[in-house]
Structure 1
């Protein structure tokens, strides 16, 4: 079954000037409308049939847009925004697309009034500079060493997700994982959750059984039945080379003339395997892990010396084992040195979970990598938990690297919007109008939150605007309670968002809207390509049906 196709413009031959700009705006608005209902704690889920016939049930903006197949080039560019947002900060993928769609929507009336796109773009960029300035002013500092405060922020990110029922558990998992993999490099915190915080999903068991292992877990078993399956304080050697005789290339030919030649060949192979095994055995390791294969002969030598071997481990997993055990990955057995042997791992054991065997390397002295073990009823549930957990880890990482917060629930958008309206009064000329339009576009976030929880949009939005228009500083924290559909002080409710996520959202949305407004010509080479394939009319060759 094909993925859903969003056809936004059938006539793709050529669009110029105003037509191209209006079509791009329409494309942006259409993509934004697809995921508008996915914002906030009362958001709806989307059911997506993927090309392989599987079903994805999610309200994660990036996961939804990734599965949608789009024809219009501007729509493709808007979809890329959610991917860029996810790569950079890990959260806010829905907000950025909704905001970008609204930025394009507020630019439409100016184009219809024949205002030049350059003037609109200038107003938008000026508003972006001031937006960043106001965000800096409104941001509050957080103590990254206070676990309770950190958990509050991660919790507020998860309230809109499927896993909010197990919020405390998921928050602790995300925070533990991020704190495990964070490193101090040149005075800066560096957190690489993509490479060093691996999520392992095992169907079965309760969600409450999920945990963060301060070490590495692999879906591997030992290569030989007599090898040890539990070792305390193992000496570990990591290899990136095969422990077997090198196979001959395709050009290799052997000429065997008498019965001793074949024996000589086997002897040569045995001597080579024994040599590479002796290179390892002299360092007295307990555990040898390689990314390549281990021959039966090598296993025999290892069993004789009470060494456990694990083969064909992924390179990414090997890198994580190197981080937790203090070992160095070696490319040739002759190059192994004592300093390459890892001794920081406390326990190696193999356990059976469900129908499969898993290797655990845990109780490490100072693990800088971890594995998050997720249990759950089905694969669909586990996939959604993994997506939500990735967002939570992204938020935790942002706070660790930049511990500043802004109020959530649409409060910061409304506060910045009011500040821009005030500032716009001092701007002269036509630029003032697109500048003010950015202020009204920011209101789309609180408006969407109100719509999604079924409250009265006009009444609540007017009340919120009035709150923020007053000079009182504490009113800046007032936003929408997405569950009950009432105005509430976000400080009291404890809904905060990382500064990095909001700054990235505003920057990406406004800049992408400006880029699309600068497009005045869309030329497609697709029709030419089809013509050359199907004949001059663009239809299929005679005798064939489409």
Structure 2
């Protein structure tokens, strides 16, 4: 081994390198800055942010994930924090603001220990222990099981989630819509529950009308019209066929260059094309369908045959919409017309109708018997309002999904954070060694949620937090902060709840991210751009290299 040459790491002049404590402090500052951006968006008294995209579009929202998605940052640690908001949104659909605020604060409380020359691995060890204890406390001591058959209790949890959003004034409507959508797509097979709201609960926004006019359609709606003006626009109990192929003549690969020797050859080619399309249409007409949806095109000739047979056709349907129609009507998507069978025809739909709303035509497949897929139709004054209503509704549906998958809840309004922090404080009293200090710092970090809620509604933060600590020390685990008034309140009385899965995911994501960023002690970036003032040698141009 001694005779072998050691590898040498060569860093280019252009490579910027920062390491050690400086990097860790910079990562902490980046986390704090990102947390400060969304801190005012927590709670029912949350402020809105106006976001402008490069194309000049405007978005008004207090949704943490939507805000951070539009922000452009250079620092890698800040990018990591923005990524966790996206993870939280994809995993449980709520708590995006909380997770950023908590991650930023968890990083901030580690700063004094780094200043005291404590090694990051000691801080990380304490953080991991604290996270493990948090999860156990939440699951064993604080979480309350709810009865899914108790409709009022489920509604209270969903309503508490919308209470901090723009749509809070229409909370009853939002609760009904989200609950109806989740119940529609809910499937339980062999003891396994599946609620796929992203694929099977589509939100369609139609500007005009009032928000109160929004509803859940017991079926599917598409922004489409029938292909021919003489096709029927209203059919009761239709037989539906779904296709993945075009009703057009397919030219072969060798047909790009065709040599016509006689004038009859061109007529023969046209006849061949007509026979091919007629054969496809005959395969369809044989099953006597009323409506055909295809993901590809429908030629004029095919439209002619279908109109004669009294069949309506809708073309260029998205793959995702076709899957929804398949699930709602019981039809099977077929790739070849000659493979169609009677069992592929969908018969569970009660009404097919094409309506004109505003300037556009919409195709409704409604009154399905057991759809397992639905469309949520949103009405509102403008597209900007509809976008925000859609974001709020997605959060509400995710909360409803979480409850149906895991029917356990915890108190909102910062009550659960104070209860967990009090339990951790008691646990830390029995700890010895250096790790007890970072462990207690996590307790301090948890208090950022009730503190921010109090700040956002203009309360006296120190007085309110001191009173809340005293309440929890006396055993009142369900007491938190009323986000409307800034006063202490029992969350049981106010009926403010959060799903356990959201809270668990918030703690796991926030603390794991803080641990990840504290482990970084070196940032190396090979930047090609150079300062004009740098005294280093000029980069060789392509021309000089050739010379």
Identify the TM-score tier after normalising by the shorter chain: over 0.9
Distance in 2 (CA, whole Å) between partners of 1:40 and 1:12 is 44
Alignment map for 1:213-224 (pairs within 5 Å): 213-224=217-228
1:86-121 CA deviation, whole Å, 9 max, x = no partner?
A: 000000000000000000001111111001100000
Aligned to 1:377: 381
* Rounded Cα–Cα distance in structure 1 between residues aligned with 2:340 and 2:130: 59
2:63 to 40, 47, 60: 60
Q: Which whole-Å CA distance do the structure 1 matches of 2:242 and 2:255 have between them?
A: 32
SS at match of 1:13: strand
2:533 is the alignment partner of 1:530: no
Which residue of the partner structure matches residue 20 of structure 2?
Answer: 17
Q: Partner residue of 1:8?
A: none
In structure 2, relative to structure 1, the CA distance for the partners of 1:231 and 1:490 (3 Å cut) is same
Q: In the TM superposition, what is the alpha-carbon distance from 1:410 to its structure 2 partner?
A: 0.2
Instruction: Check 1:422–1:232 CA distance in 2 against 1; reply closer, same or farther (3 A cut).
Output: same
Q: Conserved in 2, the CA contact under 8 Å of 1:531 and 1:538?
A: no
Q: Which residue of 2 aligns with 1:512?
A: 513
After TM superposition, list the pairs within 5 Å mapping 1:94-493 onto structure 2: 94-136=97-139, 137-247=141-251, 249=253, 252-470=256-474, 472=475, 475-493=476-494
State the shift of 1:246 in Å.
Answer: 1.3
Which consecutive unaligned segments of at least 5 residues does structure 1 have?
A: 1-10
- For 1:40, the equivalent position in structure 2 comes to 43
Task: Report if the CA contact (8 A) 1:410-1:480 is conserved.
Answer: yes
Which residue of the partner structure matches residue 4 of structure 1?
none
Partner SS state of residue 110, structure 2: helix
How far, CA to CA, are the matches of 2:221 and 2:538 in structure 1?
55
In 2: Cα distance, 1:218 partner to 1:46 partner:
32
Q: d(CA) in 2 for partners of 1:279 and 1:532?
A: 70
| Superposition deviation, residue 75 in structure 1 | 0.2
Q: 1:271 deviation in Å? A: 0.6
Q: Deviations over 1:190-244 (max 9, x none)?
A: 1000000000000000111000001000000001111111111111110000000
Aligned to 2:82: 79
Alpha-carbon contact 1:220-1:359 (below 8 Å) kept: yes
TM-superposed deviation, 1:510 = 0.4
Q: Measured at CA, do residues 120 and 486 of structure 1 come closer, stay the same or move farther in structure 2, by a change above 3 Å? A: same
Q: Is the partner of 1:70 in helix, strand or coil?
A: coil
SS of match in other structure, 2:362: strand
After superposition, the C-alpha distances for 1:130-156 in whole angstroms (9 at most, x for unaligned) are 000110120001111222111111100
Corresponding pairs, count: 527
- Following TM superposition, by how much is the alpha carbon of 1:531 offset from its aligned partner in structure 2, in angstroms? 4.7
Moved over 4 A (4+): 248-251, 531-542
SS of the residue corresponding to residue 40 of structure 2 reads helix
For residues 313 and 21 of structure 1, the distance between their equivalents in structure 2, rounded to whole angstroms, comes to: 51
Asked if the contact 1:111–1:117 (Cα under 8 Å) also holds between the matched residues in 2, the reply is yes
Unaligned 5+ segments in structure 2 are 1-13, 542-547
Could you say what secondary structure the match of 1:69 adopts? coil
Distance of 1:415 and 1:67 partners within structure 2: 35
Name the CA distance, whole Å, in 1 between partners of 2:422 and 2:410: 16
**Partner Cα separation in structure 2 for residue 219 and residue 533 of structure 1:** 54
TM-score normalised by length of structure 1: 0.94
Q: 1:35 to 1:330 in 2, by over 3 A?
A: same
Q: What's the RMSD between the two structures over aligned residues?
A: 1.9
Aligned twin of 1:7: none
CA displacement at 1:281 relative to structure 2:
1.1
**Alignment partners' CA distance in 2, 1:341 and 1:409:** 51
Distance 1:256 1:538, change over 3 A: farther
Report deviation, 1:433: 0.8
Q: In 2 relative to 1, CA 533–401 (structure 1 residues): closer, same or farther, beyond 3 Å?
A: farther
